[in-house]
């Protein structure tokens, strides 16, 4: 077993236990947890000092992992699949059952099929999507190295999956799938 696969298995164990983890993404280290575990998501939001009304991003290793959360039609599928896997996040109408701790004050959900090898392996091994938000407190710079994560968040207990962040120099762009307007 490789060191990476051991760390991935440990991370999955932590996620199943309702914990928050940190892992490399396309531009920065991200914080993640089980999107359907309310306590884990609320702990993640508290760690970041992030308002629940903003909503969160889910990452996945395939569109099929995200489909249960989304109201998709063929036009939206074609649009998003043209950019995935890759560093583009799309805002798509959410299914009515999707919890407010994920959508915030919105009726939509921000989602991405990641191409980052570590983040992708996490989702593949988990068998579903993962919350993904930058590893930092609100309004502070995000960690880009594993050793910066604990310092950025004042949390020495946080499990960090090692790896290099991708080559993206800023956060992934976010587009609204219905209007095609760039949100970030």
Q: Give tens-digit pLDDT for 3-17.
A: 778 999 999 999 999
Cβ contacts of 1 within 8 Å, gap of 6 or more: none
Does the structural domain 3-176 have CATH classification 3.40.640.10? Answer: no
Instruction: Identify the three-state secondary structure at position 12.
Output: helix
What does the alpha-carbon distance between residue 131 and residue 103 come to, in Å, rounded to a whole number?
11
What does the alpha-carbon distance between residue 34 and residue 24 come to, in Å, rounded to a whole number?
17
What does the alpha-carbon distance between residue 115 and residue 157 come to, in Å, rounded to a whole number?
28
Are the C-beta atoms of 34 and 95 separated by less than 8 Å?
no
Per-residue pLDDT of 120-171, as tens digits, reads 999 999 999 999 999 998 888 999 999 999 888 887 789 999 999 999 988 8
In the prediction, which pLDDT does 1 show? Answer: 59
Q: At 155, list the tokens.
A: 């949390």
């Amino acid at each position: 077993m490789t060191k990476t696969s051991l760390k991935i298995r440990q991370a999955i164990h932590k996620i199943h236990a309702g914990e928050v983890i940190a892992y490399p993404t396309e531009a920065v280290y991200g914080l993640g947890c089980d999107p359907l575990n309310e306590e884990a998501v609320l702990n993640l939001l508290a760690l970041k000092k992030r308002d629940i009304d903003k909503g969160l991003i889910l990452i996945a290793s395939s569109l099929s992992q995200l489909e249960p959360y989304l109201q998709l039609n063929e036009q939206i599928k074609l649009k998003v699949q043209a950019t995935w896997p890759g560093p583009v996040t799309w805002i798509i109408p959410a299914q009515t059952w999707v919890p407010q701790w994920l959508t915030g004050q919105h009726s939509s959900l921000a989602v991405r099929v990641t191409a980052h090898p570590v983040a992708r392996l996490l989702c593949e091994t988990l068998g579903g999507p993962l919350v993904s938000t930058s590893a930092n407190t609100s309004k502070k710079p995000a960690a880009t190295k594993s050793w910066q994560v604990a310092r950025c968040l004042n949390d020495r207990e946080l499990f960090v999956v090692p790896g290099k962040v991708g080559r993206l120099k800023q956060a992934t762009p976010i587009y609204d799938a219905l209007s095609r307007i760039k949100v970030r």
